[in-house]
Structure formats: structure tokens, C-alpha cells
Structure 1
Amino acid sequence: MAKYMLIMRNSASTEEYQNMDFEAIINAMGAYNESMIKAGVMVGGEGLTDAAQGSVVEFTGEAPVVTDGPYGETHELFNGYWVVETATKEEAVEWACRAPLGPGNKIEVRRVTDESDFADYSDNEYIQKEKEWRAQEAAAAE
């Protein structure tokens, strides 16, 4: 089984969201999340606050530059994500297709890297440390 991140993007304006029935959105998303939990594929996921409340750290010069609010003239904002664990990318895409989203929305499906992606560097100090960190995290969750 591989993990896939379903990245929700939206190009709708803030005004469009203000005119929506927010409780209906919560109910639709809640039912969608519940279906993934019952199917045993949802590993995690969260929504994000308005991009205007965030900051952007840009690495274009010698030192990072921090700007408050959304990045420049962004036409598509990253609104939230799910992490699902499925047997294939196609199954992850099927789950993305079931999301209760309308026009102006997109979901990008990307595999989350795992140990096998770094096999050529398995003796690297930080690859070894990450294994230890993950083991500690798993033990703490028990």
C-alpha cells in the first residue's frame, strides 16, 4: 500500500464562498471523510484558513524573504489536503473523484515518498535518523 496526498486547490473568489451554505459544505465534507475512514483509506487530512492569514517564505536571494498573505497573483489556492493509503494511484484518483467539490476546484493526486525512494542513500545519517524518528513516533502513538 502506498500513501497519496490529495491536494485541494480552488480558484473561486472569497465572495463566492461567502454566498455558500457553510453548514452544507461541512456536512458534505464530513460525509466524504467518513466514507474514506470507513473504507480504511484515510490516514489524515485538514482544511486550511484563508491564504490572506498566512505567510510566504521565498528563497530567491541570499536570505529568505517573508511576505504576509497569499503569494503574489495566485489564481489557485491550496485549501486543504487528505492523505490516503491505497493499493494503487488509480484507487487514490477514484477517491479524489468522489470529493464533494464543484466548479473551480481541482484535486492534485501525488504519491508520498517512502523508504524505497531513497534506497540509494540508505546509509545516509539522516535517512537512518528518520527511521528512528518514525519508530519513536509509532511507539508514542501506541
Structure 2
Amino acid sequence: MTQYFLTLPHDSADEPTMESMQQMDPAELEAVMAAVGDFNTALQESGALLFAGGLHPPSTAKTIDATGDAPVIVDGPFVEASEYVGGFWVIEAADLDTALDWGTRAAKAMQSRIEVRALQEAPPEA
């Protein structure tokens, strides 16, 4: 089976965090959290979920640049962008249609957009 990377974009201007989500309407936040919990449970019960996680905002990132004589560590993300990956799921699915179904379910649960991409497979051994 192919592994797929489902990503949740966030607006870089907002950099939402668990703390800032507390500013949402409590009923709306509770509904989203319940829907995401149900989605995660469905993924686990189906055996499709490999792992998932939420990421801290890009402002917390460190980038290591080893293109010169010595590696240099700098504050901030590798690229500047209007959006960034805020969370993700890595799933296993029989085909793209199945992965897109999971992505659609994630988008509905999150009330957001979800990007679905296949992970590259290792080349066959000679």
C-alpha cells in the first residue's frame, strides 16, 4: 500500500497555537475537537493511521544550512510563505481515491483545507 501525507495549512500571519485556539467560541472549538477526535478514531480503527502530529509555528523553527564550509543554524523557517503546515497525518491507503476520501473527511472535521500527497517509495533493490 502507498503511504500518504495529509497536511493541514495555517495562515502564517496568524500562527495559531493551542493557546490561541482558546480564543475561539468554546462551542465551536469543542465541536471541531470532537470531529477531529472522531476522525482520528476512524483512522486508527481502519488501520490506515501510521502517525499524526501538530507542529509548532514556523517562528519556533531553526534551519540548518550546510551548503557552505560549516553548517550554520539560524532562527526561522527555511522558506517564507503565506501558509505553513500546522499539522499532519501519515496514512496508508490502497489507492489515491481512498487517500482522498480520508483527506475529505479530515477537511470536514477540521473545517479547513487538507493537502494529500503520496510519499515517494524507495527504489527497488537491484
TM over 0.5: yes
Taking structure 1 as the reference length, the TM-score comes to 0.66
Question: Aligned in 2, Cα 1:57/1:112: closer, same or farther, shift over 3 Å?
Answer: same
Deviations 1:8-33 (A, max 9, x none): 21126147745324554433322110
Say if 2:4 is the partner of 1:4. Answer: yes
Deviations 1:33-67 (A, max 9, x none): 01111222111111112222221234565544422
Aligned ranges for residues 1-142 of structure 1 at < 5 Å? 1-11=1-11, 13-14=14-15, 17=21, 19-20=23-24, 21=26, 22-58=29-65, 61-71=68-78, 73-99=80-106, 100-102=109-111, 105-115=112-122, 118-119=123-124, 122-123=125-126
Q: Which has the larger radius of gyration?
A: 1
How far apart, CA to CA, are the structure 1 residues paired with 2:99 and 2:105?
10
Q: Percent identity?
A: 31
Structure 2 unaligned spans of 5+: none
Secondary structure in structure 1 of the residue aligned to 2:81: coil
Please state which structure has a larger fraction of its residues in helix. Answer: 1
Taking structure 2 as the reference length, the TM-score comes to 0.72
How far apart, CA to CA, are the structure 2 residues paired with 1:31 and 1:57?
37
Structure 1 unaligned spans of 5+: 124-142
Q: CA RMSD in A?
A: 2.6
Secondary structure in structure 1 of the residue aligned to 2:110: coil
Secondary structure in structure 2 of the residue aligned to 1:114: coil
Matched pairs, number: 117
